[in-house]
């Protein structure tokens, strides 16, 4: 019976968390499976993934250099942990299923390949031959393929499903770009025109195709048009046509195709999840069912035991509440329909509405109920109290905008801080503190945390200042930021603003999925970029104006837009810098300058790296992000 209960609990738990892992039903396997799903094991896996990914910070080209032995040891440790996790999973799941799952194969192959790469690299390093640690680009495979990263995997699936549809549009788009390139070559190639830099204009079909691809991203508009436009107004029509067709229509069609697939895919996923959840709950029901009269039901005792096994820390009042809902007729058993709802019921967060009295009322009832105290309470609850504080925030904003070096304004800061603290204390006095700082009271928490942080930082700053007679720049920066973040409270007072912000906050967790997706792609591109471009571009202090500093330490950049715009710090010399460069490429503007610079210091083919990044991140991922925001807002607004 105990074993049946555990099996049923495993099904219910899987249904509750939308896990879809087929597991063996022997008692031992179930215990292993529960252990596999235990939060400590999952957290440990994530920690090892983090360590593995963060190794890129310490490997050449490193932000914080460590010897190869250290990083190699850490990596082997991580690989061992991943292997253990995988072996654990293999014990839990049926063999057939295990070997058919691409996720597991992916992880195994990556582990083996990484080990081989480590050994080769290490032995070559031992004889002082420098080779490439190319499997570092595969590390995100672990992040994607462990069953815990369902969300990111779903986003990847969404992209993969979009590919066939995108492909034809993309080919047609490329065809259009090539046609226009040919036209540009014929129209402008033999006129001896020069760009603003003095370079020949539109003379090479490959360069034209690249420039026109850049024009699709708008990054070189209108510069690319100017030489032809200077010759005749009519040539602007060529570029306007190009932009309408390729930038506006094709890019919108990409968004349309991605969005369409996203919606279709989302619907299918939701339907499939609902089906699987129901299926698992039916399995759990079939294990525990007993026959009462003509129908199969689950006895109250079994139901309670099950709920307690699934959620060990459930409070008894909560459990009673769930039972009251599931056994409406109070017949001592839960029927099938109500039983199937259990997983969803457990997911509902119960907000205990607080009709409790204020603690002060319990401790000093006479003081708290005095007419003076009641007046204060009514004042705090009054609308004018809110308005008064909005005015204070406005005055505070003006004071911040003015120069704070004036002593009066620097004192005013303390006054404002005091006023905000008084406000919070008054509110805590008026409202029941546990209700005021309840789980869903986002804005109250925001208020309190910002004020406490500002108080701590301001005091720390003052302490340092009086002790060492100077301002710590870091702490001062934090104080400044906190001081300005306080102004965000104005949003609370305007209903429509609150609605928009609440919507944005609600879609926050899913946005984090995109964060994970972007991180995976960034990481892979960063590692490849570091292998290709590290050390080619050097950053010098901006006040340093030696000829070497002006060309970022690479003479190939002489006269280039990259050097002219002082982009030396946009390099692939460590992971952090690489991520910033990739962010700039995502934003798209000036990406052709970056691509051109790195092509100059290596080879023109390096531009392919940047084009591929644009296709993957901007055309696919950013469009899925936009599709996601659109869908989320349609549902919420």
Q: Which residues, 389 to 408, sit near a copy of itself by CB under 8 A?
A: 397, 400-401, 404
* Half-sphere exposure at residue 131, Cβ-oriented, CA atoms within 13 angstroms: 16
Task: Enumerate residues 6+ apart whose C-beta is below 8 A from 196.
Answer: 223, 226, 227
254-293 positions binding Na ion, by CB under 5 A: none
To a copy of itself, the closest distance from the beta carbon of 194 in angstroms equals 8
88-117 positions binding a copy of itself, by CB under 8 A: none
Residue 199 binding a copy of itself, by CB under 8 A = no
Residues 218-237 as x/- pattern, contact with Na ion by CB under 5 A: x-------------------
Residue 542 binding a copy of itself, by CB under 8 A = yes
Q: Which does 313 bind (CB under 5 to 8 A by kind): a copy of itself, Na ion, none?
A: none
Residue 625 binding a copy of itself, by CB under 8 A = yes
To a copy of itself, the closest distance from the beta carbon of 252 in angstroms equals 4
Burial of 162 (0-12, 13-18, 19+ CB in 10 A): buried
Query: How crowded is residue 606: how many other Cβ atoms within 10 Å of its Cβ?
Result: 19
568-587 positions binding a copy of itself, by CB under 8 A: 569-570, 576-577, 580, 583-584, 587
346-385 positions binding a copy of itself, by CB under 8 A: none
Task: Enumerate residues 6+ apart whose C-beta is below 8 A from 115.
Answer: 76, 79
Between 4 and 471, name the residue whose CB sits nearer to a copy of itself. Answer: 471
Task: Enumerate residues 6+ apart whose C-beta is below 8 A from 391.
Answer: none
* Half-sphere exposure at residue 517, Cβ-oriented, CA atoms within 13 angstroms: 25
**Judged by CB under 8 A, which of 101, 223, 361, 390 binds a copy of itself?**
223
Which phi and psi (to 5°) does residue 314 adopt?
A: -75, 140
Q: Which does 501 bind (CB under 5 to 8 A by kind): a copy of itself, Na ion, none?
A: a copy of itself
Q: How far, rounded to the nearest angstrom, does the alpha carbon of residue 553 sit from its chain's CA centroid?
A: 35
To a copy of itself, the closest distance from the beta carbon of 418 in angstroms equals 21
To a copy of itself, the closest distance from the beta carbon of 265 in angstroms equals 14
Residue 314 binding a copy of itself, by CB under 8 A = no
Residue 168 binding a copy of itself, by CB under 8 A = yes
Rounded distance between C-alpha atoms, residue 71 and residue 344, angstroms? 45
User: What's the full length of the chain, in residues?
Assistant: 637
**Judged by CB under 5 A, which of 286, 315, 502, 589 binds Na ion?**
589
Residue 169 binding a copy of itself, by CB under 8 A = yes
- Of the ranges 355-363, 464-472, 486-494, 598-606, which one interacts with a copy of itself (CB under 8 A)? 486-494
Between 8 and 399, name the residue whose CB sits nearer to a copy of itself. Answer: 399
584-603 positions binding a copy of itself, by CB under 8 A: 584, 587-590
168-207 positions binding Na ion, by CB under 5 A: none
Question: Strand, helix or coil at 485?
Answer: helix
Secondary structure string (H, E, C) spanning 97-131: HHHHCHHHHHHHHHHHHHHHHHHHHHHHHHCCCCC
Q: Which residue has tokens 């790195």?
A: 598
296 strand-pairing partners: 291
Residue 248 binding Na ion, by CB under 5 A = no
Q: Which does 205 bind (CB under 5 to 8 A by kind): Na ion, a copy of itself, none?
A: a copy of itself
Residues binding a copy of itself: number (CB under 8 A):
83
Exposure class string for 8-25: b at 16+ Cβ within 10 A, else e: bbbbbbbbbeebeeebbb
Q: Which value, in Å, is the radius of gyration of the alpha carbons in the chain? A: 31
Which DSSP letter does residue 135 get? G
Question: Strand, helix or coil at 507?
Answer: coil
Listed as own residue / partner, the contacts of 560-567 with beta carbons closer than 8 Å and 24 or more positions apart are: 560/596, 560/597, 560/600, 561/197, 561/593, 561/596, 561/597, 562/537, 562/593, 562/594, 562/596, 562/597, 562/598, 562/600, 563/597, 565/590, 565/593, 566/542, 567/593, 567/594, 567/597
Residue 219 binding a copy of itself, by CB under 8 A = yes
Residue 185 binding a copy of itself, by CB under 8 A = yes
* Half-sphere exposure at residue 185, Cβ-oriented, CA atoms within 13 angstroms: 14
Residue 545 binding a copy of itself, by CB under 8 A = no
Between 138 and 588, name the residue whose CB sits nearer to Na ion. Answer: 588
- Of the ranges 23-31, 99-107, 366-374, 623-631, which one interacts with a copy of itself (CB under 8 A)? 623-631
Q: Cis ω on the peptide bond leading into residue 61 (within 30° of 0)? A: yes
- Of the ranges 217-225, 321-329, 488-496, 511-519, which one interacts with Na ion (CB under 5 A)? 217-225
To a copy of itself, the closest distance from the beta carbon of 269 in angstroms equals 19
- Of the ranges 115-123, 212-220, 272-280, 459-467, which one interacts with a copy of itself (CB under 8 A)? 212-220
497-526 positions binding a copy of itself, by CB under 8 A: 497, 500-501, 504
Residue 411 binding a copy of itself, by CB under 8 A = no
Cα–Cα–Cα angle for 429, 431, 435, nearest 5°? 130
Rounded distance between C-alpha atoms, residue 65 and residue 625, angstroms? 35
Between 131 and 589, name the residue whose CB sits nearer to Na ion. Answer: 589
Between 228 and 287, name the residue whose CB sits nearer to a copy of itself. Answer: 228
Residue 243 binding a copy of itself, by CB under 8 A = yes
Residue numbers at the binding site for Na ion (CB under 5 A): 218, 589
């Amino acid at each position: 019976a105990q074993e049946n209960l555990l099996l049923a609990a495993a099904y219910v738990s899987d249904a509750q968390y939308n896990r879809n892992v087929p597991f063996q039903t022997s008692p031992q396997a179930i215990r292993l499976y529960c252990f596999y799903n235990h939060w400590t094991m999952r957290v440990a896996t994530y920690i090892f993934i983090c360590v593995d990914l963060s190794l890129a910070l310490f490997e050449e080209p490193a932000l914080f250099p460590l010897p190869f032995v250290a990083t190699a040891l850490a990596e082997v440790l991580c690989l061992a942990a991943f292997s253990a996790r995988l072996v654990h999973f293999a014990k839990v799941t049926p063999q057939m299923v295990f070997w058919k799952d691409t996720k597991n194969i992916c992880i195994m192959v990556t582990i083996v390949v990484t080990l081989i790469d480590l050994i080769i690299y290490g032995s070559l390093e031992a004889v002082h031959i420098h080779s490439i640690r190319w499997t570092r680009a595969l590390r995100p495979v672990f992040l994607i393929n462990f069953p815990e990263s369902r969300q990111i995997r779903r986003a990847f699936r969404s992209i993969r499903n979009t590919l066939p549809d995108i492909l034809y549009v993309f080919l047609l788009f490329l065809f259009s770009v090539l046609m226009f390139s040919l036209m540009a070559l014929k129209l402008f190639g033999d006129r001896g025109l020069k760009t603003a830099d003095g370079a020949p204009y539109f003379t090479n079909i490959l360069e034209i195709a690249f420039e026109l691809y850049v024009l699709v991203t708008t990054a070189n508009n209108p510069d690319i048009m100017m030489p032809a436009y200077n010759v005749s107004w009519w040539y602007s029509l060529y570029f306007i046509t190009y932009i309408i067709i390729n930038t506006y229509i094709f890019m919108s069609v990409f968004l349309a195709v991605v969005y369409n697939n996203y919606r279709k895919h989302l619907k299918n996923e939701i339907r499939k999840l609902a089906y699987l959840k129901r299926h698992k709950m039916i399995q759990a029901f079939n294990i525990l069912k007993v026959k009462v009269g003509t129908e199969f039901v689950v006895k109250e005792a079994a139901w309670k035991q099950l709920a307690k096994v699934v959620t060990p820390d459930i409070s008894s009042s909560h459990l009673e509440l769930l039972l009251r809902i599931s056994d409406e007729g109070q017949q001592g058993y839960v029927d099938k329909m109500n039983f199937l709802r259990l997983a969803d019921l457990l997911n509902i967060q119960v907000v205990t509405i607080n009709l409790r009295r204020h603690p002060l009322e319990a401790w000093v009832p006479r003081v708290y109920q005095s007419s003076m105290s009641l007046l204060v309470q009514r004042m705090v609850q009054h609308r004018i109290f809110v308005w008064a504080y909005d005015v204070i925030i406005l005055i505070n904003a003006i004071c911040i905008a003015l120069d704070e070096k004036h002593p009066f304004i620097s004192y005013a800061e303390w006054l404002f801080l005091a006023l905000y603290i008084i406000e919070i204390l008054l509110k805590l006095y008026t409202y029941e503190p546990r209700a005021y700082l309840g789980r869903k009271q986002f804005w109250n928490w925001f208020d309190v945390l910002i004020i406490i942080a500002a108080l701590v930082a301001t005091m720390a700053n003052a302490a340092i200042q009086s002790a060492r007679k100077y301002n710590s720049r870091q702490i001062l920066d934090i104080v400044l930021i906190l001081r300005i973040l306080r102004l965000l409270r104005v949003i609370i007072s305007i209903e429509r603003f609150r609605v928009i912000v609440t919507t944005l906050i609600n879609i926050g967790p899913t946005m984090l999925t995109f964060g994970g997706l972007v991180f995976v792609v960034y990481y892979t591109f960063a590692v490849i970029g570091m292998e290709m471009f590290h050390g080619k571009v050097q950053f010098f202090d901006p006040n340093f104006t030696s000829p070497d500093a002006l060309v970022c330490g690479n003479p190939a950049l002489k006269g280039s837009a990259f050097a002219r715009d002082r982009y030396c710090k946009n390099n692939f010399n460590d992971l952090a810098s690489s991520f910033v460069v990739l962010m700039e490429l995502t934003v798209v503007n000036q990406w052709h300058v970056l691509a051109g610079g790195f092509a100059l210091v290596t080879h023109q083919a390096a531009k392919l790296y940047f084009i591929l990044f644009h296709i993957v991140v901007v055309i696919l991922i950013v469009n899925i992000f936009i599709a996601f925001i659109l869908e989320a807002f349609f549902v919420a607004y």
